[in-house]
Structure 1
Amino acid sequence: MTTASLSIGELEANYALYCKALKILIRQGKSSAELHRTICWHRLGLLHRSLPRQYKSPERLMLMIQADLSNNGSV
């Protein structure tokens, strides 16, 4: 992966995009194992590990998105 060449600023700038990608994959019914292998999961994890007070873990985001989907029918 080319993630090593991305700066924290570049990861932060694309945070909303990674969240949107995660939401789309969850809506498509991807399994947890499949989600763990995605670039968006990896980059969300990097952000969380680098700035844990600012960014939730991908696991937490996944649970929040799944809860929203089950409560609202779609997100």
Structure 2
Amino acid sequence: MPTKAKLLTIGDLEAGFSSYCEALRRLVTSGRDIDAIRRTLCWDYLQRLHTSLPQSYRSPEDLVARYRRATSCARAN
């Protein structure tokens, strides 16, 4: 995570959840490897949400796995 990242509240993170998921989906679709994805802000924000509210938000690892499965299924069809 960049060192100068703005500290967001949980409410701010929740408000941007769909945007972070979309950014993560685009990274997966473009073929980025997991190490590169883990260095992004969207990963950090999704991880913070999952850590703070695990009952409400899936982990970024789980989301990456889901997006990869969806991408591979779409390519197979």
- TM > 0.5 fold call: yes
- TM-score under structure 2 length normalisation: 0.88
TM-aligned CA deviation for residue 70 of structure 1: 0.7
Taking only the aligned residue pairs, the percentage that are identical comes to 39
Query: 1:2, CA displacement in angstroms?
Result: 2.7
Q: Runs of at least 4 residues of structure 1 off by over 6 A?
A: none
TM-score by length of 1: 0.91
Unpaired stretches in structure 2, ≥5 consecutive residues: none
Task: Give the RMSD, CA atoms, in angstroms.
Answer: 0.9
Deviation at 1:63, TM superposition (A): 0.1
In the alignment, structure 1 segments of 5+ residues that lack a partner are none
Matched length = 72
1:27-66 CA distance string (max 9 Å, x none): 1110010001000001000000000010000000000000
Amino acid in the other structure paired with 1:51? L
Matched residue SS, 2:27: helix
What is the CA–CA distance in structure 1 between the aligned matches of 2:69 and 2:29, rounded to whole Å? Answer: 11
Separation in 2, partners of 1:57, 1:33: 15
Write the letter of the residue equivalent to 1:55: Y
Give the equivalent residue in structure 1 for 2:5: 2
1:23 deviates by: 0.5
Distance 2:48 2:33 in 1: 21
